[in-house]
Structure 1
Amino acid sequence: MKLARWTDPDGTLSEGFVIDDAVVPFPDGMTVASVLEQGLGGAQKLFDRVQSAPRTSLSHIQLLAPLTPTTVRDFVAFEEHVEGVSAGVEGKSNVAAEWYEAPTFYFTNPHTISGTGAVIGPPVCERLDFELELAAVIGGGPDAPESNLDVDQGESVIFGYCIMNDWSARDLQAREMQVRLGPAKGKDFGMTLGPWIVTADEFAPYLDAEGFLAVRAEAYINGELVGEDLVSNMGWPFPELVAYASRNSRVVPGDVLGSGTVGNGGCLGELWGRNGGLTPPPLNVGDAVRLVIEGLGEIQNTVGAPVPAPPIPAARPRTRQRRR
């Protein structure tokens, strides 16, 4: 099954299933969020109900991001990506020993999500980049666990998957991470999810013996292939990422967990580190970025003009006096 959100020709927001080359709204005014809460079993019952319902061609609608996430956790699960990016940032390739001990993620902004076809307005920056990722979407269902899940439970709450592009302003990111926090403003201006959510059961043929998803991922800039990898090169399979995210915390329907950037050119930052310079060049206005993942389809976005923001002054020296 494929779940999507879209705008109809009259501008109406609709949510429902993608069936072949058409879309069908959910019955009873349901939304992607409410279907995720029901889990895969509830989604299947709805899907059976709409088989004879009227359909609208995909060519007549504009796809949006397939959900409005409750939270977005983005992991860094590809060793090859860390090797390349560290070479560009630190001058030498280095994977910290701590990377191997447990999955690492950061929380990013769920309020700046876009869908395929959107024009991305980045901040004013000099090193705009994309990141090709696979994202898991959490679902619910009767008695679905939320906290301190084991790996089997982690697998049970994965509703489906979509493609993720974690847009990155590398120069802004490099500055703020010198303060040992972030990434923040180098990332939170935009993320693309899409083109739809494909339910987890459809990926069973791609699972290898250890539970990794052996789907092919490709990145293109202006039609030129710049990166390709198998998602099975992750250091941890998705159920383990979900279990880790739930440690002493909660994962709930609508949460999104990104795999982190795939290796072998899944972003420009990795290639800059390996090539010893800005080759290929950073993204610029008008560039078209197309990300393709086997079993999911593709998302494509165009880089728009940078969006200036009001200035913020630098920190001022303070006296550090302790009494008024």
Structure 2
Amino acid sequence: MRFVTFEKSDGTVRSGLMLATELVIDLNEATNGRLPEKLIDFLEQSEENLKIAAQLLQHTLGDRGVYPLNDIRLIAPLPVPKSFRDFYAFEQHVKSARENRGLKMIPEWYEIPVFYFSNHLAIKGPEDKISKPVGSNMLDYELEVACVIGKQGKNIRADEAEEYIFGYCILNDWSARDFQRQEMKVGLGPAKGKDFATSIGPWILTKDELENLKSGKGFDITMKAKVNGVLLSEGNMKDIYYSFGEMLERASAGVTLYPGEIIGSGTVGTGCILELGTEVHCWLQPGDEVVFEIDRLGVLKNWIIND
């Protein structure tokens, strides 16, 4: 199932279920209030609510709460997640990005999956405009997959982590590389290099929809990024070094994870300008169109503007 958050023509925002026929179901309206208006609340009781939502899959245009996709506007599927952790789980990206800065690989990277917290209050969605941070001249995209937590847990083992995952979506971890570099020289960060925007969407795909694509520690799904129609990045999620299970084990060690938290994979190999090098493409500028496409997870498009 594909879960979305959308805005109706009257301005109301609702959680929804997208059908293959380009229809979107208002979960709250279609169930006469049995399902909540917001997806963050849906996730609190995700196992029970999924059973109710599954009964709506046969709905058609004309049924209560069903809207044509053209009549609504998709926004970030989880507009205000409870938190956002981003990992660093693709070896090729780490190696290449460090080589481009004249740095060797960090041996400790192979010992534990590492992450940082970013701004969960700066989430953007499909078709949203991304303001270029004032003072930054090195704006970059980062092509990632994210998982959404659907069950509370603490000290979760990697081999049991899947039962805590609700689903997956595309994630673009926008980065101001000049801010990031300056800040991290001090030994903290990359806060100001990241906190202005993170895009997710267009939907959250439930984990069962990727079950048949498991490969290695990830999924056999192609990940692509285009800027102004030119393909710059192409990788595959199956190349990931640390599984989402290993990431959840690390994130939940001594800490409770809650429904509605987002975990990012980190950037796939070739998945950013920093890694490709500015001889391949210059840093992002106002007017640029950035489009991510990942098998089964859809297409996430954004535009860069001046703040």
Q: Does 1:229 align with 2:239?
A: no
Q: Which residue of 2 aligns with 1:150?
A: 157
Deviation at 1:47, TM superposition (A): 2.8
Q: Percent identity?
A: 39
> What's the counterpart of residue 310 of structure 1?
none
Gaps of 5+ in 2: none
Residue range with higher mean Cα deviation, 49-58 or 235-244: 49-58
- 3-state DSSP of counterpart to 1:46: helix
Q: Contact 2:127–2:301 at 8 Å: present in 1 too?
A: yes
Structure-2 residue corresponding to 1:285:
286
Which segment drifts farther, 116-125 or 28-37? 28-37
1:244 CA displacement: 1.3
The alignment's C-alpha RMSD in Å is: 1.4
Unpaired runs of at least 5, structure 1: 308-324
The DSSP-based 3-state class of the residue aligned with 1:186 is helix
- Higher-Rg member (1/2): 1
Shift of 1:61: 1.4
Q: Determine if the alignment matches structure 1 residue 270 to structure 2 residue 275.
A: yes
Aligned residue type for 1:238: F
Letter in 2 for 1:58: L
Matched letter for residue 166 of structure 2: F
- Structure number having the greater strand percentage: 2
With normalisation by structure 1, the TM-score equals 0.87
Q: How does 1:1-324 map to 2 (within 5 A)?
A: 1-20=1-20, 21-27=22-28, 28=33, 30=36, 31-49=38-56, 51-52=58-59, 53-54=63-64, 55-67=66-78, 68-89=80-101, 91-92=102-103, 94-124=104-134, 125-140=136-151, 144=152, 146-208=153-215, 210-263=216-269, 265-272=270-277, 277-305=278-306, 307=307
Deviation at 1:122, TM superposition (A): 2.0
Find the residue that maps to 2:17 and give its secondary structure: strand
User: What is the deviation of 1:40?
Assistant: 3.7
Show CA shifts across 1:172-216 (max 9, x none).
1100000111101111000001001000000011102x4421211
Structure 2: how far apart are the matches of 1:120 and 1:173?
A: 18
Contact 1:213 1:237 in 2 (8 A): no
* Paired residues of 2:132 and 2:286 also in contact (CA < 8 A): no
> Counterpart of 1:316?
none
What CA distance in whole angstroms lies between the structure 1 residues aligned with 2:141 and 2:206? Answer: 25
- Report the CA distance between 1:278 and its aligned residue: 4.7
For residues 253 and 6 of structure 1, the distance between their equivalents in structure 2, rounded to whole angstroms, comes to 20
Counterpart Cα distance in 1 of 2:100 and 2:193: 16
Question: What is the aligned residue count?
Answer: 294
For residue 58 of structure 1, report the CA deviation from its aligned partner. 1.2
Shift of 1:37: 1.6
